[in-house]
Chains A and B, each alone.
Chain A
Amino acid sequence: MHVPIEYFLVLSAFMFITGVAGVLTRRNAIVIFMSVELMLNSANLTLVTFSSYIGNPVGQLFVFFVMTVAAAEAAVGLAIIIALFRNKQTMNVDEINILKW
């Protein structure tokens, strides 16, 4: 007996909402970035689910692209966070406020 597709979709929707809530409520730049990664992974789970239930490989191919892009984004993002940390010694986005947020 197969697991119904809804189970996967609800799980990924829950992951996505957790990610959005994390971005909106957390104040540490790294944790915000981790929440964004959670959002991307929920999209990956959705893509794989649909791909497997439709029987079409395009979705799984897309996941590789998303993972590659997430890696590139992580490289640039962590570099930005390190550059900021060198200048200001903080990760808290509330304290990063020379420009009006």
Chain B
Amino acid sequence: MLYSIEEFYSILPFIILSTGILISVLIEMYSSKSEKILPWFSIIIFSAAGFYSLLTVNSMSVIMQGMLQTGGIPNIFHFVFNFGAAITCLLSVDYIKKYGAFFGEYYILIQISVLGMMCMAGAKDLFMIFIGLEVMSVSFYALAGMNRKRLNANEASLKYFLLGAFATGFVVYGIALIYGAAHSTSIDVITASFPAMSGNVIFLAGVLLFLIGFSFKIAAFPFHMWVPDVYQGSATTIAGLFSTGGKAAAFSAIIASLAPLFAGSVHVFMPYLAVISVLSMLFGSIVAISQNNIKRMLAYSSIAHAGYMIIGLAAGNHAGIAGIVFYLTAYTFMNLGAFGIVSLIEGNGETNLDLNSYAGLSEKNPMLALLLSVFMFALAGLPPFAGFFGKYYVFISAVKGNITWLAIVGVISSAISVYFYIRIVVLMYFRDSQSGFTIKNSSAGMLAVIISFMLVILLGIIPGSVINLISSFLN
């Protein structure tokens, strides 16, 4: 099959990443210092793919015989995944020595998972969604248990694996039913036959099962039980990747496949989405208050954030989809920043993870305390940081979509969540330190945190132009 050179340029990010994976495997096989080379090699690969996607964001095309879509929203997601993964690699340079998983495979698995995420974001066919989802999930199961000597990590990866495979079962059965009703796996064909099938039980059951499967992956309320355990048990940097890249990829797949369905005049899935959204927001925000471990607290906060994002899906209009994309971009960088600082403060053998370890941080390390405060304010959704605009766009879309009550619940839940975010800031600035641990310097980790900080500030300064760019692709 001959492809045109334009198609080649469109899939260049995929080619860069795939080539990078193969070369990384060779480096891992033949070099004795692969653990030192691979992080920097991965960062180069991710930056190349990420910047290339961002530069070609305006060249829209459907390639690979209608399997993949590039340009527009998928390219924005590619940028988010690649940059998120690059920041994760930068954080891991010093962290995985502390954690006891100093293997080169770690970086190769991150690269493979990003390739899977990119397949999901650009999918034009249910095949691509399924393959992308599995490529991402299987590397995540292995990444969660990277330190196989540690029981916590074993347990986290077992839980992630069992529940992730369970969710895959739902997704595959949903795809089978959708295929049976629509007679095709192509998303364009399925979209075209939506109006005719709005009363077809097999089709609706299929979409519902598909959504339930993805609710596991985005960590929405009734399907959230793996989240805190997996984040606590796995490496902190990896937990950061799970909560940002994994969540963004699952949302990108829902947007790629089902957004036209939600935009229809008869939005049959609105009640389901509204219910899981309300439950996730309130459950996440309230349970996070009672957590003592900062990784568990961030896990519950990530459940609440999934709830806010689902508001955009429930609204179903273009404003909602654009709001989710902006929110995910902002959330990726602020959450990676927060997890990054947790990984810098964490000591050998997963110590210093209690909230009390953060008491008096402003005296010990004013820089880290300042950065963590900014990330906490951004996660809480206080202006002028990126998190505020993410929430703002999503809530506005709910008002436009005539589900104002959902936006009101969202605002109430944000108000509750301010308590546990600000509690950390109060601990850092107004309490005295109780434990005398020292924070190991890591210039690579510091650089990663500062890059995320600058992106969070940047998205807070120019939210208008970013949201205009995203909206221009939807019309």
| B-binding residues in A (CB < 8 A) | 9, 16, 19-20, 23, 29, 32-33, 36, 39-40, 42-44, 46-47, 49-50, 54, 56, 58-59, 62, 65-66, 69, 72-73, 76-77, 79-81, 83-84, 87-88, 93, 96-101
Contact A58 B168 (CB under 8 A): no
Contact B172 A80 (CB under 8 A): no
User: What are 27 A-B residue pairs whose CB atoms fall within 8 Å in the complex?
Assistant: A20-B169, A33-B162, A39-B169, A39-B173, A40-B168, A43-B169, A46-B176, A46-B177, A50-B180, A54-B180, A54-B183, A56-B184, A58-B185, A69-B168, A73-B134, A73-B138, A73-B141, A73-B165, A73-B168, A76-B161, A80-B158, A83-B148, A83-B154, A83-B157, A84-B155, A88-B154, A99-B155
Q: Which residues of B contact A79 (CB under 8 A)?
A: 142
Contact B156 A99 (CB under 8 A): yes
User: Which of these, B130, B138, B141, B145, contacts A65 with CB under 8 Å?
Assistant: B130
Contact B169 A87 (CB under 8 A): no
Q: Which residues of A contact B145 (CB under 8 A)?
A: 80, 83
For B162-192 the 0/1 string (1 means CB < 8 A from A) is 1001101110110111011001110000000
Contact B134 A69 (CB under 8 A): yes
Contact A58 B180 (CB under 8 A): no
Q: Which residues of B contact A98 (CB under 8 A)?
A: 151-152, 155
Q: In the complex the two chains form, what is the Cα distance from A81 to B142 in whole Å? A: 11
User: Which of these, B148, B149, B156, B179, contacts A58 with CB under 8 Å?
Assistant: B179
Q: Lowest 10 A-B CB distances belong to which pairs?
A: A39-B169, A50-B180, A46-B176, A43-B172, A84-B154, A99-B229, A43-B173, A83-B148, A36-B165, A69-B134
Q: In the complex the two chains form, what is the Cα distance from A91 to B404 in whole Å? A: 48
User: Which of these, B138, B169, B232, contacts A76 with CB under 8 Å?
Assistant: B138
Residue on B with the closest CB to A66?
B172
Q: Which residues of A contact B71 (CB under 8 A)?
A: none
Q: Which residues of A contact B149 (CB under 8 A)?
A: 87
Interface residues on B, range: 35 or more
A2 to chain B, nearest CB (A): 16
Contact B173 A84 (CB under 8 A): no
Which residues 311-341 of B sit at the A interface, judged by CB distance below 8 A?
none
Interface of A is mostly: helix
Q: Which residues of A contact B228 (CB under 8 A)?
A: 99-100
Contact B166 A65 (CB under 8 A): no
Say whether B40 faces chain A, with CB atoms less than 8 Å apart.
Answer: no
Say whether B233 faces chain A, with CB atoms less than 8 Å apart.
Answer: yes
Say whether B62 faces chain A, with CB atoms less than 8 Å apart.
Answer: no
Contact A62 B179 (CB under 8 A): yes
Indicate whether A19 sits within 8 Å of B155 (C-beta atoms), given known contacts A50-B179, A83-B145, A99-B232.
no
A20 to chain B, nearest CB (A): 8
Q: Which residues of A contact B127 (CB under 8 A)?
A: 62, 65
Residue on B with the closest CB to A58?
B185
Contact A39 B157 (CB under 8 A): no
A83 to chain B, nearest CB (A): 4
Say whether B101 faces chain A, with CB atoms less than 8 Å apart.
Answer: no
Q: In the complex the two chains form, what is the Cα distance from A80 to B157 in whole Å? A: 7
Q: In the complex the two chains form, what is the Cα distance from A73 to B229 in whole Å? A: 21
